[in-house]
RNA sequence: GUGACCGUAGCUCAAUAGGCAGAGCUCUGGAUUGUGGCUCCAGCGGUUGUGGGUUCGAGCCCCAUCGGUCACCCCA
């Protein structure tokens, strides 16, 4: 026997029961979003890797399913947002704003699979381009919460944050773009756990090691002064250079190291601020005054906080209980393109925290992926598989199964059996034909075991008269009738059918 | 990526201390030639994930490798 080929790690097969439920959830939510004006779109599963280079932090960049084919760098999409931006640039630039899009489909991330975590999973989400930032933030939050209510999921936690607070702070520091990116991507780890905080500290130590010999130098502000100072210092310890070029190069490297040391101080300063910010996370409204005081102390613009305060009251009016809302200004997200509001929705499952949804505002992404002008944008995505497992069972529709099995008595009755099946289907009865060619007895056994309620037995007699023998396997009743009568009968027993 | 546990028939799992590789379910045929669920009988199905080592002898012990599950980490 040939060795069996195994299913790929982190991938799964969708079997009928779950497939039907997943399909149903997507249909329900898509209909809901269509009602809100979100047009359904889809994008290719494959994109050029560059598309996500801009949008993804280094952490996630490692997780792309990327490969090279015919001299092109390609990847399976790790999310939809950047693709939808590309779709906008390709087809919608002349359209009247705002524009609303919704999507549902597979995304791929090469990461360690685990509880409720797959390398391929389904995301359902929306993107809203244009419009007033505050108004669209409000709409997006409302939709995300409404979708949960729509599926009768009531126990969840809505975590709200705003990148504006942290970026306002970081922009005042003189950090190079690498350091800024590092801080933003590490922000999330800080906010998650003590452990994360330790990891961050370690990484910073590794990237920006302390260098006490340079601490003094960094006190000297002016670059020209620094250069002269270093030069004289080198002369003083009798270091000789072959020529001026080498001397200049050495001095520059020295200054670069000094700059690095300065970065270190500033990053540590930023880290301290993030810790303070994280420390005052909690439920509204108490936390607002604490955060306001913190911003005041650091002389930061309170505008993001004011916006969040208004959003919280809107969310509460949408029916989200206050105790399920958490304010977390140090909330950072894996993807690095967010610029304003960020939010996550979490729930408990089997005592474990699962993230159902993530989203926020990303006003610069459009130009990052090549737009000639900036475009305000906001959106979110749900993980459909995680979402599905939290929907109460009674909310989900019953599984659709076969209602009737046509059993040909002999092989020569098969053509008539196929005809009967076709007629029954066209009348709305879900019908299968027993193609095993094993006689009536085995056919009935098959129907019983498959829990198919009606057996339609067709042999020579039935064929001659153009009728079928209908046997109800629940009541044991049997009667000869034409197929049309059968259809009526099926409709009457449909409710009971589900209990089988 | 790190740690723990696991890998035996299509599926779920046994196999005492290192001593003949087994059971249930599924599938096929029959008891029953046009009447079901139950029952009974028979059959199909294996290089014990793979490669090496120790041993008279390995599913079991050792090493390596691949795969799986869980936790950490990270995300939806």
Q: Is the CB of A1 under 7 A from strand B?
A: yes
- Closest nucleotide to A436's CA, by C1' atom? B28
- A8-27: pLDDT as tens digits: 888 888 888 889 999 999 99
Q: Could you check: is the Cβ of residue A388 within 7 Å of any atom of nucleic acid strand B? A: no
Reported residue count of chain A is 500
CA of A450 to C1' of B26 (A): 14
pLDDT tens for A383-418 read: 999 889 889 988 999 888 999 999 999 888 999 999
Q: Which of A103-112, A198-207, A304-313, A439-448 has the lowest mean pLDDT?
A: A198-207
Residue A372 pLDDT exceeds 50: yes
Cβ of A445 less than 7 A from strand B: yes
CA A317 vs CA A138, A322, A377: distances in Å: 11, 10, 24
Task: Give, in Å, how far the C1' of B21 lies from the CA of A397.
Answer: 46
Q: Which of residues 341-360 of A touch strand B (CB under 7 A)?
A: 344, 352-358
Asked if residue A77 keeps its beta carbon closer than 7 A to nucleic acid strand B, the reply is no
Give the pLDDT band of residue A497 (cuts 50, 70, 90): very low
> Averaged over A315-329, what is the pLDDT?
90
pLDDT at A215 over 60: no
Give residue numbers, 89 to 118 of A, with CB < 7 Å from strand B.
109, 111-118
Structure confidence at residue A500 (pLDDT): 37
User: Cα(A65)–Cα(A72) distance, rounded to whole angstroms?
Assistant: 14
Q: Which nucleotide is nearest to A200 (CA to C1')?
A: B73
Sign of the CA dihedral with A364 first, then A370, A375, and A380 last: negative
Q: Is the CB of A439 under 7 A from strand B?
A: yes
A450 CB-to-strand B distance under 7 Å? no
Whether residue A223 is predicted with pLDDT greater than 60 in this model: the reply is no
pLDDT at A101 over 80: yes
Where does the pLDDT of residue A184 fall: very low under 50, low under 70, confident under 90, or very high at 90 and above?
low
Print burial letters for A98-126: b (CB count within 10 Å at least 16), e (below 16). Answer: bbbbbbbbebbbbeeeeebbbbbbbbbbb
Residue A242 has pLDDT above 60, yes or no: no
Is 50 exceeded by the pLDDT of residue A252?
yes
Picking from A433, A412, A435, A419, the residue whose alpha carbon sits closest to that of residue A482 is A419
Average pLDDT (A352-365) is 90
Supply A181's token pair.
Answer: 């990116």
CA angle A197, A199, A204 (to 5 degrees): 95
pLDDT of residue A226: 57
Closest C1' nucleotide to A407's CA = B34
The answer to whether A192 CB sits below 7 Å from nucleic acid chain B is yes
d(CA A312, CA A469): 65
- Give whichever of A38-42, A149-153, A297-301 has the largest mean pLDDT: A38-42
Give the pLDDT of residue A495.
47
The contacts of residue A182 (CB under 8 Å, 6+ apart) are A203, A204, A207, A267
Q: Which nucleotides of B are covered by protein (CB under 7 A)?
A: 1-2, 27-30, 32-38, 46-47, 67-76
Strand partners, A126: A102, A380
Strand partners, A346: A157, A355
Q: Which nucleotide's C1' sits nearest to the alpha carbon of A449?
A: B37
- Using the CA of A443, give the nucleotide whose C1' is nearest: B36
Give residue A264's pLDDT band: very low, low, confident or very high (50, 70, 90). confident
Q: What is the ipTM of this complex?
A: 0.81
How high is the pLDDT of residue A256?
Answer: 63
Rounded to an integer, the average pLDDT of A238-263 is 62
Strands A99-108 and A352-361, bridge-based pairing: unpaired
A356 to each of A76, A125, A129, A157, A263, how far by Cα in Å? 22, 11, 23, 10, 37
> And the tokens for A232?
């004289």
- Of A150, A169, A200, the closest CA to residue A387 belongs to A150
User: In angstroms, how far is B27 C1' from A462 CA?
Assistant: 32
Q: How confident is the model at residue A420 (pLDDT cuts 50, 70, 90)?
A: very high
Contact between the CB of A272 and strand B at under 7 Å = no
Distance A234 CA to B50 C1' (A): 63
pLDDT at A244 over 50: yes
Please, are residues A134 and A307 in contact by the beta-carbon 8 Å criterion? yes
- CA–C1' gap, A350 and B59, in angstroms: 35
Mean pLDDT of chain A: 82
Helix axes A177-192, A244-279, angle to 10 degrees: 30
Distance, in Å, from the CA atom of A184 to the CA atom of A472, rounded to the nearest integer, reads 66
Pure H helices in A280-411: 286-297, 303-317, 365-368, 384-388
Global pTM value: 0.82
Q: Is the CB of A494 under 7 A from strand B?
A: no
């Amino acid at each position: 026997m040939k060795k069996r080929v195994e299913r790929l790690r982190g991938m799964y097969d969708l079997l009928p029961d779950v497939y039907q439920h997943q399909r149903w959830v997507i249909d329900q939510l898509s209909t809901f979003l269509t009602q809100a004006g979100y047009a359904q779109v889809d994008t290719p599963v494959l994109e050029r890797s560059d598309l996500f280079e801009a949008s993804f932090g280094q952490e996630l960049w490692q997780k792309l399913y990327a490969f090279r084919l015919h001299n092109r760098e390609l990847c399976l999409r790790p999310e939809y947002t950047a693709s939808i931006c590309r779709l906008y640039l390709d087809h919608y630039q002349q359209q009247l704003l705002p524009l609303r899009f919704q999507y549902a489909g597979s995304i791929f991330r090469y990461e360690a699979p685990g509880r409720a975590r797959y390398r391929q999973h389904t995301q359902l989400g929306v993107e809203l381009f244009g419009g007033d930032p505050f108004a669209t933030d409000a709409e997006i939050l409302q939709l995300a919460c409404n979708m949960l209510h729509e599926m009768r999921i009531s126990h969840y936690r809505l975590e709200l944050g705003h990148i504006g607070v942290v970026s306002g702070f970081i922009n005042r520091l003189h950090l190079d773009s690498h350091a800024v990116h590092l801080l933003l991507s590490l922000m999330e780890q800080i906010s998650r756990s003590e452990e994360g905080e330790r990891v961050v500290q370690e990484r910073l130590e590794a990237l920006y090691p302390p260098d006490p010999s340079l601490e003094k130098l960094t006190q000297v502000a002016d670059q020209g002064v620094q250069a002269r100072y270093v030069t004289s210092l080198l002369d003083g310890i009798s270091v000789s250079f072959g020529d001026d070029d080498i001397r200049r190069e050495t001095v520059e490297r020295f200054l670069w190291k000094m700059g690095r040391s300065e970065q270190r101080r500033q990053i540590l300063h930023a880290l301290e601020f993030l810790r303070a910010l994280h420390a005052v996370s909690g439920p509204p409204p108490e936390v607002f005054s604490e955060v306001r005081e913190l911003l005041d102390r650091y002389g930061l613009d309170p505008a993001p906080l004011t916006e969040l305060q208004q959003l919280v009251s809107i969310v509460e009016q949408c029916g989200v209980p206050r105790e399920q809302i958490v304010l977390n200004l140090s909330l950072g997200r894996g993807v690095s393109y967010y610029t304003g509001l960020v939010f996550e929705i979490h729930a408990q499952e089997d005592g474990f925290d699962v993230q159902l949804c993530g989203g926020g505002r990303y006003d610069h992404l459009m130009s990052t992926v090549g737009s000639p002008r900036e475009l305000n944008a906001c959106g979110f995505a749900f993980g459909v598989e995680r979402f599905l497992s939290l929907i109460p069972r009674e909310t989900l529709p019953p599984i659709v199964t076969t209602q009737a099995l046509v059993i040909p008595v002999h092989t020569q009755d098969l053509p008539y059996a196929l005809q009967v099946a076709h007629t029954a289907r066209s009348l709305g009865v879900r019908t299968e034909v027993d193609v095993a060619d094993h006689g009536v007895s085995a056919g009935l056994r098959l129907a019983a075991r498959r829990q198919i309620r009606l057996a339609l037995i067709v042999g020579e007699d039935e064929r001659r008269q153009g009728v079928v023998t209908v046997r109800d396997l629940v009541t044991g009743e049997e009667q000869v009738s034409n197929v049309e009568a059968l259809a009526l009968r099926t409709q009457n027993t449909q409710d009971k059918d589900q209990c089988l």
